[in-house]
């Protein structure tokens, strides 16, 4: 009953000073809304990075040609084709490697009826789609038989298919690549953007042998542009990288002290860096927004101190008729807590609405979770208790006689 009485007194005091209560609550509303909004944006950025990483495939290592030199002539990384199909086949037999995907690339004009589209055309083996964890949404992927015979079959990404065919199903239709007819075998599932911002769905895949013999030509038969390798598990990624470096040095006859004419990149390490950067950004956004909550807490403390001064005589009367210090402390603490809880509820609603508005206006991914809302709400309550304690303690420490004499 005593607790209900204290709660009633606290609510009555807040109702009697509605304007002051609203202004005090405003700081908490803005603080909580800012925290929810910033955390939603930060978590959305982290989710976007994670989706881009997962779309690449798992346990990947990328092998690209390295810088080379011949006498006084030097070439930048990737300037000379130093990798071969034999390298890819040899790496595939390493115990730590599950599969390899040699790749050649080029740009070509595609035509279907009156529609045309210029995009990247990539020559790959069937293992490429397994390494990238990429399936066909319609139709089917090409096979080893297509690779061996150099079949003119093409697999389209979602963006390319839409630009050439619109809403028409491309499967089984014939398109022209550099004026050569190709049968559309299927359309891939959507992947979205990569970490470097490239649209992975704006792509065309053909058998690697078809690309070498009929589309791009090849000054050096058997060479490839680069390759992907998939380790058997995340635990053997470092071991796989070491084995690949050793094997390629042997195959390229690089003696001790000679620089590699290739580069092996651990995509898991790059992904970890990107994830870490996104996580740091999320934490920084939340920390910056939390400053607004601290400012709101200071505002609560200032207003509560003014309230204690204004209500000194009231406090003296309550003490004179039997209220103890614990009841006075509880009342003022409860007033601060009510301000924070009501401000927190309104702030959460505004923060969620703001996050959705940002998402709709900018197409930015935002992620709102119950844990995020609970964290902002709990922090707001803690701020209210922390900054409300001093004014409440000051009120409870007043001596009844001095309080009654206060004018």
Tens-digit pLDDT profile for residues 54-111: 666 678 888 998 754 444 444 444 456 788 899 999 999 999 999 999 999 988 899 9
Which sign, positive or negative, has the C-alpha torsion 208, 214, 216, 218?
Answer: positive
Q: How many CB atoms lie within 10 A of CB 185?
A: 24
Q: Given its phi and psi angles, is residue 133 left (phi above 0), alpha (psi -120 to 50 degrees) or beta?
A: left
User: What confidence category does residue 302 fall into, taking pLDDT thresholds of 50, 70 and 90?
Assistant: confident
**What is the rounded CA–CA span in Å between residue 219 and residue 216?**
10
Residues 6+ apart with CB under 8 A from 269: none
Determine the average pLDDT of the residues in 180-205: 86
Structure tokens at 91: 């790496």
3-state secondary structure of 219: coil
What is the pLDDT at residue 151? 92
Residues 6+ apart with CB under 8 A from 110: 116, 117, 118, 119, 121, 160, 164, 175, 176, 177, 204
Q: For 138-182, what is each residue's pLDDT tens digit? A: 999 999 999 999 899 999 999 999 999 988 999 999 999 988 999
Categorize the per-residue pLDDT at 194 as very low, low, confident or very high, splitting at 50, 70 and 90.
Answer: confident
CA neighbor of 123 nearest in space, from 230, 225, 229? 225
- Read off the pLDDT of residues 357-370 as tens digits, 9 standing for 90 and up: 888 888 777 888 88
Structure tokens, 54: 């997962």
Q: Which range has the worst mean pLDDT, 58-62, 123-127, 288-292?
A: 288-292
Percent of the chain with pLDDT over 70: 80
Residue ranges covered by each domain of the chain = 2-52+273-405, 81-260
Residue 150 and residue 210: Cα distance in Å, rounded? 4
> Strand pairing partners for 62?
228, 265
Distance CA 66, CA 64 (A): 6
Distance from C-alpha of 21 to C-alpha of 356, rounded to nearest angstrom = 29
Q: Write out pLDDT tens, residues 329-367.
A: 777 777 777 777 888 888 888 888 988 888 888 877 788
Query: Distance (Å, rounded) from C-alpha 143 to C-alpha 153?
Result: 10
Q: Across 86-159, where does the E strand assignment appear?
A: 97-112, 115-124, 136-139, 153-156
Q: What pLDDT, on a 0 to 100 scale, did the predictor assign at position 402?
A: 61
């Amino acid at each position: 009953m005593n607790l209900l009485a204290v709660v009633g007194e606290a609510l009555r005091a807040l109702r009697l000073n509605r304007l002051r209560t609203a202004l005090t609550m405003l700081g908490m509303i803005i603080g909580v809304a800012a925290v929810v909004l910033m955390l939603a944006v930060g978590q959305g950025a982290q989710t976007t990075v994670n989706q881009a990483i997962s779309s690449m495939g798992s346990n990947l290592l990328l092998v690209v040609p390295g810088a080379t030199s011949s006498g006084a002539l030097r070439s930048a990384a990737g300037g000379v084709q130093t990798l071969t199909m034999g390298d890819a086949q040899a790496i595939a037999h390493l115990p730590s490697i599950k599969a390899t995907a040699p790749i050649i690339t080029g740009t070509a004009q595609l035509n279907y009826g009156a529609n045309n589209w210029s995009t990247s055309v990539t020559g790959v083996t069937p293992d490429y789609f397994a390494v990238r964890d990429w399936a066909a949404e319609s139709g089917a992927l090409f096979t080893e038989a297509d690779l061996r015979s150099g079949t003119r079959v093409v697999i389209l990404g979602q963006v390319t298919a839409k630009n050439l065919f619109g809403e028409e199903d491309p499967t089984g239709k014939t398109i022209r690549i550099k004026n050569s007819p190709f049968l559309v075998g299927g359309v891939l599932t959507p992947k979205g953007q990569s970490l470097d911002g490239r649209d992975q769905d704006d792509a065309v895949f053909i058998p690697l042998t078809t690309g070498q013999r009929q589309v791009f030509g090849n000054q050096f038969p058997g060479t490839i542009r680069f390759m992907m390798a998939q380790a058997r598990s995340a635990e053997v990624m470092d071991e796989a990288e070491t084995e690949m470096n050793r094997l390629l040095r042997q195959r390229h006859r690089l003696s001790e002290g000679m620089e590699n004419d290739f580069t092996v990149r651990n995509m898991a390490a790059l992904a970890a860096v990107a994830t870490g950067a996104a996580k740091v950004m999320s934490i920084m956004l939340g920390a910056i927004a939390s400053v607004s909550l601290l400012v709101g807490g200071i505002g609560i403390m200032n207003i509560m101190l003014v309230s204690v001064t204004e209500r000194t005589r009231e406090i003296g009367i309550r003490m004179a008729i039997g209220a103890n210090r614990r009841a006075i402390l509880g009342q003022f603490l409860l007033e601060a807590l009510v301000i924070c809880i009501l401000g927190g509820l309104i702030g959460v609603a505004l923060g969620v609405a703001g996050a959705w508005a940002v998402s709709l206006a900018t197409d930015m991914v935002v992620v709102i979770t119950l844990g995020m809302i609970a964290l902002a709400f709990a922090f707001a309550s803690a701020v209210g208790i922390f900054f409300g304690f001093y004014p409440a303690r000051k009120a409870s420490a007043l001596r009844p006689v001095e309080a009654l004499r206060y004018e």
